[in-house]
Structure 1
Amino acid sequence: MSVLRLPQDRVDEARPASGSGMDRVVQRRRLPRPALIAAGLAVLLAAALLFWWFAPRAGSQSVAASRLTIATVQRGTFEDYIPLRTRVTPLVTVYIDAIEGGRVEEVLVEDGTMLAKGQPIAILSNAELQLSTLARQTEVEQQINNMRAQELSLAQTRVANERAVLEAELALEKAQRLYDREAPLAAKGFVAGRQFADTTDQLRFERQRLAVVRRGRATDDRLQNSQLSQQRASTASLTAGLQLARANLDALRLRAPVAGQLSGFSIQVGQSMQRGERIGQIDSPGRNKLQAGVDEFFLGRVATGQVARIDAGGRSYRARVTRILPQVQNGQFQVELQFLGEEPQGLQRGQTVQARLTLSDPSPAILVPYGAFLNDTGGAWVFVAAPDGRSAVRRTVRLGRRNADHVEVLDGLSPGERVIISPYTGFADKDVLDLAQGKDV
């Protein structure tokens, strides 16, 4: 039996079996292009939001919390005082200068010696000064002698004038008696008229001569008194100059101007001293004062008469502000204090003593601990920490009085809030701080 193959069958036999007759081709579906673009934009926006959220802002900075000191604002009693680091200085210091220069011939005392007023401490020599002083003394004495001779001459002139007045008065009296005798006789004709006329003329002459002599004496007395006054003034001036010259010569013997303890005295025999050169000083014995530098912030609050307390040797002493030097140098001004009553024993010049100056009575207030942040902000603002401690925000405040422990809060802070009181170095220009926990940023 023969089998008839159709052409189609031959074609099918020629193809290898692939199983394509049993599988169905499935077409892949793709999203529309607009949907793909929208999805990409959404991813980019989400990434930008995450970067904005976690990236540091221009006004913020991350700071390790371990680097900061955070304190709590509290209500309490503010003690208005300032601590002073005072320096002990003598109450009175008198400096010793060489009035005249010279060579040191002898040193009579040592540094640290207690001196009495006027006690010699050293002897200088100056041959040129000694010669000039002797010459000056001779000149002055000669001028004084000349003026005394002039005074003697004036005195002799005064005596001569007085003698002339007496003689004129005597002559007038004689002429008056002669006139009195002849007048009645001339009236009766017993005295010749010519003789009586001569007597009358002589009387008139003696009167005029006495008047002239008196006027001359008055003029001479006035001129002599003026000249004597000038001569006496000149004599006094020359005498004072002579005494000054002798004093300069005596100044070569150096003496203590006041009683006290000699210090800074280190001259040696043979040393040449210049005029006006400082050779030492004398400090008041047993009396001291305190000098201290005070921050310029307190310039308007410190006043003379305020009392400071000094604790020394287990006892408390009091001192009063006696002088304020308002010139500010290096952010401080100087004050001087004197002890009220007894002083601590054993105080030495230059010793440092701690004092506590009271400015006003204690009063209730809101307080924040004193910190270095004040140097960066001036008390105008602070960083206030959030309750969770993860951030801090800059806040404007108003601070008042200060002492070594606390600062008075006038406005801007409430009790219980926490403030960064450590230095703001590196982030003082920021508004927000991210307080990273447990790591250094």
Structure 2
Amino acid sequence: MSLVELREVKGETGAVSGGAMDRVVVRKKIDKRILIGAGAGAVLLLLLLFWLFAPRSGSQTVNPSRLTIAEARQGTFEDFLPLRARVAPLVTVYLDAVEGGRVEQLAVEDGTTVVKGQLLAILSNADLQLSTLARQTEVEQQLNNMRSQELALQQTRSANRREMNQVQNDLSKAQRLYDLQRPLAEKGFVSAKTFNDTKDDLQMQRSRLAILKGSIAEDETLQANQLGQLRASAASMNQSLSIARGSLSQLSLRAPVSGQLSGFSIQLGQSLQQGERLGQIDSAGRNKLEADVDEFYLGRVVVGQTASIEVGGKTYGLKVAKIYPQVRNGQFRIDLVFEGPEPAQMQRGQTMSTKLTLGDSSRAVLIPNGAFFNDTGGNWIFVVDGNSAERRPVQLGRRNNDFIEVLDGLKPGERVITSTYSGLVDKDHLSFDTDE
């Protein structure tokens, strides 16, 4: 066991306590202004970081591999429009049943080459035949009546002429008798009564002649008018008779022009209605091209513009012959005719690649023709700058299948996005995400 020695220390009295070991520590406080300033700085820093990295409402991040980027360059713009045109006959004449009837005889088959006036088919129509015969009989009766009236007028004219001759003869006799008796009466060899009777008879014959001339003149005027009306009526009746007979002739269907018959599918015994379409005749050996053109070019395509096709390594020239301005499904149709010989290898219904020239070639800034044009209307485009692209207004001019002419807003060497802008039309800024 160890022993502990306890000794009293001088100068120290009383019990020993731990109070001397505790000290009061005074805490220093941070100034409130410093705290407020630090908080405001932190908030500003957060706002700055959000503004720098948060996506903008007019901005979008896209993968550049999904875009088509092309460069604007100086070049020659060829103002042409590529078209797909169909080969069609130059002239097509449609066959319709002028009169209805039953098919009694077929003279040709579908696809046959016919000549003008050639018999195609014969129809029968009993009602039409009976009505035509009745009409013909009625017209002939009226014509006979008019001929009788005309004959009566001619007889009246002949009677007037005979009466005129008689009156003139009587006047001549009275004049000779008067000339004979006048010198004798002056010498007293002819009684005064006899001479006066002769003189009165001469005066009567003169008056009779004057009255007859006036009557004949009036009759001639009336007869001329009546004869004119009768002849006009006769001509109208003859025309009506010709129409009636022509109705019967329409039962014999004949080719109105020469060419190839197509769509002629009527059968023996078939009943056809008046005006029913029977087929068509296409011009032989001459063709045209029919092409559908986008309505965007409606104001730029005019009659007389030139076009060309290439067949078998040879180029053939055409021109616009007709424009159909009706727009259907965003397109209108034009007809192109050959200015010279036609390709021998063409088949009707065949489609051919055609180049329609809209204007002269010229030097211009060009960008490739892309889907972006349909989304922007050619009013703006995204211009690429490094890893981003900005929306820029541009003025675009003519376009063909390959290029678009730039009038203002782009310089050669600048890069633009020419692919579709689907989902981007409301954006002003594009950022490229190269990590995708």
TM-score higher than 0.5: yes
Say if 1:65 and 1:438, in contact at 8 Å, map to a contact too: no
SS at match of 1:137: helix
Say if 1:293 and 1:333, in contact at 8 Å, map to a contact too: yes
The farther-off stretch of 275-284 and 340-349 is 340-349
The farther-off stretch of 163-172 and 307-316 is 307-316
Matches within 5 A, 1:226-305: 226-305=225-304
Output one character per residue of 1:155-174: Cα deviation in whole Å (capped at 9) or x when no partner: 11111000000100111111
Amino acid in the other structure paired with 2:151: L
Q: Separation in 1 of the partners of 2:369 and 2:325?
A: 25
Q: Separation in 2 of the partners of 1:3 and 1:40?
A: 62
Shift in Å at residue 39 of structure 1?
Answer: 2.5
SS at match of 2:344: coil
Paired position in structure 2 for 1:190: 189
SS at match of 1:407: strand
**TM norm structure 2:** 0.93
Q: Separation in 1 of the partners of 2:373 and 2:81?
A: 16
Shift in Å at residue 353 of structure 1?
Answer: 1.4
Amino acid in the other structure paired with 1:97: D
Q: Separation in 2 of the partners of 1:175 and 1:330?
A: 99
Shift in Å at residue 438 of structure 1?
Answer: 4.5
Paired position in structure 1 for 2:104: 105
Q: Separation in 2 of the partners of 1:100 and 1:279?
A: 12
Paired position in structure 2 for 1:370: 369
Paired position in structure 2 for 1:415: 412
Paired position in structure 2 for 1:35: 34
Amino acid in the other structure paired with 1:393: E
Shift in Å at residue 133 of structure 1?
Answer: 0.2
> How has the CA–CA distance of structure 1 residues 23 and 417 changed in structure 2, closer, same or farther, with 3 Å as cutoff?
farther
Shift in Å at residue 29 of structure 1?
Answer: 5.6
SS at match of 2:151: helix
Output one character per residue of 1:281-317: Cα deviation in whole Å (capped at 9) or x when no partner: 1111111111222233333332222211101122211
Runs of 5+ unmatched residues, structure 2:
none
Shift in Å at residue 335 of structure 1?
Answer: 2.1
Say if 1:66 and 1:438, in contact at 8 Å, map to a contact too: no
Shift in Å at residue 94 of structure 1?
Answer: 0.9
Paired position in structure 2 for 1:74: 73
Shift in Å at residue 24 of structure 1?
Answer: 7.9
> How has the CA–CA distance of structure 1 residues 438 and 180 changed in structure 2, closer, same or farther, with 3 Å as cutoff?
farther
The count of aligned residue pairs is 430
Matches within 5 A, 1:56-67: 56-67=55-66
Amino acid in the other structure paired with 1:421: T
- Say which of 426, 431, 434 aligns to 2:428: 431
Output one character per residue of 1:207-247: Cα deviation in whole Å (capped at 9) or x when no partner: 11111112222211211111111111111111111110111
SS at match of 1:270: coil
CA RMSD, 1 decimal: 2.3
**TM norm structure 1:** 0.92
Amino acid in the other structure paired with 1:408: E
> How has the CA–CA distance of structure 1 residues 202 and 438 changed in structure 2, closer, same or farther, with 3 Å as cutoff?
farther
Paired position in structure 2 for 1:150: 149
> How has the CA–CA distance of structure 1 residues 187 and 61 changed in structure 2, closer, same or farther, with 3 Å as cutoff?
same
Amino acid in the other structure paired with 2:258: A
SS at match of 2:337: strand
Q: Which runs of 4+ in 1 moved over 6 A?
A: 2-6, 20-28
Paired position in structure 2 for 1:176: 175
Matches within 5 A, 1:14-53: 31-53=30-52
Amino acid in the other structure paired with 1:108: A
Paired position in structure 2 for 1:322: 321
Say if 1:107 and 1:122, in contact at 8 Å, map to a contact too: yes
Amino acid in the other structure paired with 2:174: A
SS at match of 2:382: strand
Output one character per residue of 1:376-422: Cα deviation in whole Å (capped at 9) or x when no partner: 11111111011x2x111011111111111111111110111000001
Q: Separation in 1 of the partners of 2:69 and 2:363?
A: 23
Paired position in structure 2 for 1:356: 355
Say if 1:99 and 1:251, in contact at 8 Å, map to a contact too: yes
Q: Separation in 1 of the partners of 2:425 and 2:52?
A: 23
Amino acid in the other structure paired with 2:252: R
SS at match of 1:75: strand
Output one character per residue of 1:124-167: Cα deviation in whole Å (capped at 9) or x when no partner: 11111110000000000111111111111111111100000010
Amino acid in the other structure paired with 1:399: L
SS at match of 2:45: helix
Q: Separation in 1 of the partners of 2:425 and 2:122?
A: 66
Shift in Å at residue 35 of structure 1?
Answer: 2.9
Q: Separation in 2 of the partners of 1:417 and 1:399?
A: 15
